[in-house]
Each structure stands twice: as C-alpha cells, then as structure tokens.
Amino acid sequence: MARAWRCAGLRWAAEGPALLWDGGRRSPLSRGKRVAFAVAEGGVRGCVGARGHACPVRAAVSGRSTGARCEECARLDRAHSVAADGIADDPRPYRVYLAWFGPGLVKVGITAVERGPARLLEQGAVCFSWLGSGPLMAARRTEELLRAALRVPDRIPYAEKRAVRAALPGDEEERVREIRELHGRAVELAQWPESLTRAPFEGVDHLRAFGLDTAPAARGEVTELVAGGAVGGELVAAAGPDLHLASGEGVIVLDTRLMRGWELVPVGCEGGLEVRLPVREFRAAGHAQDGLF
C-alpha cells in the first residue's frame, strides 16, 4: 500500500511556492510540474489542531472548510492571531499595504516587516504597494482609517479573486493604477497616526511570479476533497493558496487549503488531468515512492 501523506499547507518564499507535509518534507512547485494525488479510500478529514498542537478530540471537519479546524481549535487559533486582533502587544514593527487582485478588488492589510512580501504572495495579490510602517497598533489604526475614510475593505473572499484572474489587464501600469491612486489619497488623510512612517508608492507586480501571464483561463474550481477522489495535471500557475492544473480538459483551480486534514496518496497522471472531485464551473470562461510529488 502506498504511503499516505498529510499536507501542512502551501508556503511562499523568494524562490516560489512549496507544499509542506507533516514531518517537515517540502515539495517545491515549479511551473510545468506534474501534480497528482488521491484521497485515501474510506478516509475522514481530521481537524489539524491549533498553534502546533493536535486536536484533543480528533474531530472530523467538513471537506469544504478552508481552515480545516473544528470549532474549538479555530477559536484557539484566532485567539492568538494578529489578523484577528488577538495580539495587541507585539513589539515587532509592522507594515501597512494596499493589495490589488483585479479590477475593483483592492484591500488594505498589515504584515510584520520581517515577513517581507510573503503575506502578499500567500494572499494571491497581483499587485501591491506599501503604505507605511510602524508599531502594531499604529498599523491597526491606519488600516481602520482606510476602511472608514476611503471604504477600503480588509478582506476579499478567494472566490472573488479567482473570478477575475482570467480578465486581468495585460499592461502592468494599468494593473497598478488603482492602488497608485488610492495610495495618494491615503497618505494625505489628516488622521494618519504620527508613529506610522509613510512609504512612497512603489507598485510591485506578481503576475509573472504567479504564472498568470501565460496560463490558460481556468474553467472551474475544486469545491472539496472526498474519500477516494483524485486530481492530477500540469501546474500552469500558482496564486496564493491556489494551484492551476491543466491538461486537454482545461484548467482546474485547486485551493491547497482543502488538502489539509486528509490522508493523501500518490497516483500517476500520465493520462493528463484527472478529476474525481466535486468541481464548480465558473459562470463565464476564464472565470511506493519516497514522496507524494
């Protein structure tokens, strides 16, 4: 019987994305790589726990959950999360950023300076610019200021990000235009916290880093993994947690967050893209081995 692997998520670094596995193994993901796996027959998706600790009751979780945690573990995880305001006294410096995911989809957010642009890659930001840097609470006040004064959201659902990827402008200047204009309005706000240092506009474009400049438009997305299901194909793009897998049948988007909590086994994919998982079509076009990979 093939060895089963448990995915610990996808992480971005300067050299690109990689899938992480329980036990510390990494699977770098380069464009053109063949990716294929199956969900173990009779398997049940288990809670991944919180803050490095296993779920105490080994709860089962829904196949559609992107968090892969039971209610109690999700509560514990968010209780110690900067994103959920669970930490107010973090002494590290933070940056405020504007991120663009497609026409009309701009958000404001914060990330620790030490993380660099990793947070933007993980979110699938096509373009971004720093707004400023300073203490955590000053960064938080700036984020709230933009939400209130300029009506900039701090969250955009991944489904909306995927829906616009096939219609991204081909010109980089056009892609950064919205955040350039918004940046200029933001730094002129009178209520800007004194302890947050403004940053000049510098648009960073991730279209090529994601592979979206050459990838065919996706026809649909996997909605959940199921026991006995399988998927495989050629990696043509990766944006945030999403893998774009292609063959003659078209491109399917797989959110790697759906992989966590399942026991996965390797399969061949010589026949091209194989999908034995629930797939939601986009409404409009565009819209024993020693490791699993």
Q: Could you read off the pLDDT of 192-212 as tens digits, one per residue?
A: 999 999 999 999 999 999 999
Query: Cβ neighbours of residue 5 under 8 Å, at least 6 residues apart?
Result: 21, 22, 25, 37, 263, 264, 265, 266, 291, 292
Asked whether the predicted pLDDT for residue 282 surpasses 80, the reply is yes
What is the model's pLDDT at position 85?
53
Q: Give the chain's mean pLDDT.
A: 89
Average pLDDT, stretch 23-27? 90
Ramachandran assignment for 55, one of left (phi > 0), alpha (psi -120 to 50 degrees), beta (any other): beta
Tokens 């990766």 found at:
238
Average pLDDT, stretch 69-87? 77
What is the model's pLDDT at position 291?
54
Average pLDDT, stretch 73-93? 74
What is the model's pLDDT at position 287?
41
What is the model's pLDDT at position 288?
46
* Of 211, 228, 235, 210, residue with least CA distance to 275: 228
Q: Each residue of 218-268: pLDDT tens digit? A: 988 999 999 999 999 999 999 999 999 997 778 999 999 999 999 999 886
Q: Each residue of 89-133: pLDDT tens digit? A: 678 999 999 999 999 999 999 999 999 999 999 999 999 999 999
Alpha-carbon gap, residue 87 to 103, rounded angstroms: 33
Asked whether the predicted pLDDT for residue 86 surpasses 80, the reply is no
Asked whether the predicted pLDDT for residue 141 surpasses 70, the reply is yes
Segment among 146-150, 165-169, 195-199 with least mean pLDDT: 165-169
CB 210, CB 249: distance < 8 Å:
no
Q: What percent of the chain has pLDDT over 70?
A: 90
Asked whether the predicted pLDDT for residue 285 surpasses 50, the reply is no
What is the model's pLDDT at position 54?
92
CB 59, CB 47: distance < 8 Å:
yes
What is the model's pLDDT at position 91?
85
What is the model's pLDDT at position 284?
57
Higher pLDDT, 287 or 22: 22
Query: Cβ neighbours of residue 64 under 8 Å, at least 6 residues apart?
Result: 223, 224, 258
Average pLDDT, stretch 20-45? 92
